[in-house]
Amino acid sequence: MTTLIESEEHKALRSAVAALGRRYGRDYVTRTIAEGRHPTELWAEAGKLGYLGVNLPEEYGGGGGGIAELSIVLEELGAAGSPLLMLVVSPAICGTVISRFGTEEQKRTWLPGLADGTRTMAFGITEPDAGSNSHRLTTTARRDGADWLLTGRKVFVSGVDQADATLVVGRTEDARTGTLKPCLFIVPRDAEGFSRHRIDMELNAAEKQFELFLDDVRLPGDALVGGGTSHASGSGGEDAGLLQLFAGLNPERVMTAAFAIGMGRFALARAVEYARDRTVWKAPIGTHQAIAHPLAQAHIDLELARLMMQKAAHLYDAGDDAGAGEAANMAKYAAGEACVKAVDQAVHTLGGNGLTREFGLAPLITAARVARIAPVSREMILNYVSHQTLGLPKSY
């Protein structure tokens, strides 16, 4: 059972990351977006301080912690108004999969760079005709001598333009049964036949979204994660696709919860500060329960979501993948709902000021919905809980 009291190490990490986030803040993020560039300065400093790879093994340059520590990093950066979305993808998903299932060569090649921020990796799973239903993935890999040929399309892939490689979920044919099974491939950004198209989004973020095209992308045999060998944590290569996939998806849900909680805390802090100072009818508006109570409820919801996120991270780091799957889905659901409500209430508290550039809340109206939609919709989480947890008949 996860403790309700954070360790001194976690408190120290939270305090240090919060200080880093405040030095950059929302103005920095707004400026990078306006200039059409990435938050490279914050990313580089966070990497140098060891925050980006806090979850990765020490022998490969990481901090030796887990998703619990990495979620603290993202939450606190978000609460300061300067979240790093690629934390969800590069160290949390890709770093976790490679550290758990990669070959020794793959670990030595990728983990040190992912840990210190000098290298980044994107993650491609969603397809135009296969969103929540990963069984409909059509990106396929076939053998060509010692190589692989990978063909397919991916959509809504974050940060491909800045990533050194993309961890692509494809499917290979089982030689014994003829059925297709998932496999993960490391695709370098300059691979021949690998192209991208930026998706025009209303979402105001430094990290852009892309559609990927893979046209018989030739990859060496060792591009397959695990390389077909066996590992203590499970089989590698072609026999471990599902294990590898869920090893990455559970941390993704936890980190999405951290992203949402951080955003909600930032919005709430802006609203509380405003409600303390803004005076109408001879008293600060925070005096009135119609303003104070919804803000208090938003705070309660965010705190409850954080508890479930901490439980999910604890279970995952303890090796309880089944328990972590349930908790991570619940945490992502709770955090997404809490974030949307906190942002909405913050904007409402500021009234017209909530839609001005000066206060920086308006862009969060769109951004907050990401946690409800991605990486899995709240409806699919309700399907999961009703079926897996409550034992009700499966509806899909």
Same domain, 358 and 226: no
Residue at which a domain ends, from 223, 240, 257 = 240
**Per-residue CA distances from 8 to 12, 16, 138, 304, 317 (Å):** 6, 12, 47, 21, 18
Residue at which a domain ends, from 188, 206, 240 = 240
pLDDT averages per 10-residue partition of the chain, 396 residues = 76 98 96 94 98 98 98 98 97 96 97 98 91 76 95 96 96 72 94 97 92 97 78 46 82 98 98 96 95 98 98 96 95 98 98 95 95 94 95 91
Q: Identify whether 396 is part of a domain.
A: no
- Whether the CB-CB separation of 204 and 366 falls below 8 Å is answered with yes
Look at the chain and report how many structural domains it folds into.
3
Q: What is the CATH number of the domain that holds 36?
A: 1.10.540.10
**Residue 151 dihedral angles phi and psi, to the nearest 5°:** -135, 135
Q: Identify whether 2 is part of a domain.
A: no
**Nearest Cα to Cα of residue 118 among 44, 54, 180:** 44
Q: Identify whether 64 is part of a domain.
A: yes
Q: In Å, how far from its chain's centre is CA 151? A: 25
Q: What is the CATH number of the domain that holds 130?
A: 2.40.110.10
Q: How far apart are CA 278 and CA 50, in angstroms?
A: 40
Q: Model-level pTM?
A: 0.94
Residue at which a domain ends, from 240, 259, 286 = 240
Same domain, 99 and 173: no
Q: How far apart are CA 23 and CA 303, in angstroms?
A: 25
Q: How far apart are CA 79 and CA 299, in angstroms?
A: 13
Same domain, 184 and 132: yes
Instruction: Please report how many Cα atoms fall inside a 13 Å half-sphere around the Cα of residue 66, on the Cβ side.
Output: 16
Q: Identify whether 206 is part of a domain.
A: yes
pLDDT in tens, 182-192: 899 999 999 99
* Encoded tokens for 182: 């998932």
The three-class DSSP label of residue 187 is strand
Q: Identify whether 3 is part of a domain.
A: no
Q: Identify whether 258 is part of a domain.
A: yes
Residue 280: burial class (beta carbons within 10 Å; 0-12, 13-18, 19+): exposed
Same domain, 274 and 313: yes
Same domain, 254 and 371: yes
Same domain, 103 and 127: no
Can you point out the beta strands (E) in the chain?
Answer: 121-124, 140-144, 147-158, 165-173, 180-188, 194-198, 209-219, 230-231, 234-235, 279-280, 283-284
Q: Identify whether 58 is part of a domain.
A: yes
Same domain, 232 and 310: no
Task: Tell me what pLDDT residue 75 has.
Answer: 98
Determine the number of helices (DSSP H) and then strands (DSSP E) in the chain. 12, 11
Task: Tell me what pLDDT residue 176 has.
Answer: 64
Same domain, 47 and 33: yes
Task: Tell me what pLDDT residue 85 has.
Answer: 96
Dihedral of the alpha carbons of 292, 296, 297, 298, in degrees to the nearest 10: 100
Same domain, 297 and 188: no
Q: How far apart are CA 236 and CA 240, in angstroms?
A: 5
Task: Tell me what pLDDT residue 281 has.
Answer: 86
Q: Which domain holds residue 179?
A: 123-240
Q: What is the CATH number of the domain that holds 377?
A: 1.20.140.10
Same domain, 136 and 230: yes
One-character DSSP codes across 231-267: ETTEE-GGG-HHHHHHHHHHHHHHHHHHHHHHHHHHH
pLDDT in tens, 364-391: 999 999 999 999 999 999 999 999 999 9
Same domain, 38 and 69: yes
- Whether the CB-CB separation of 105 and 349 falls below 8 Å is answered with no
Q: Identify whether 394 is part of a domain.
A: no
Same domain, 290 and 364: yes
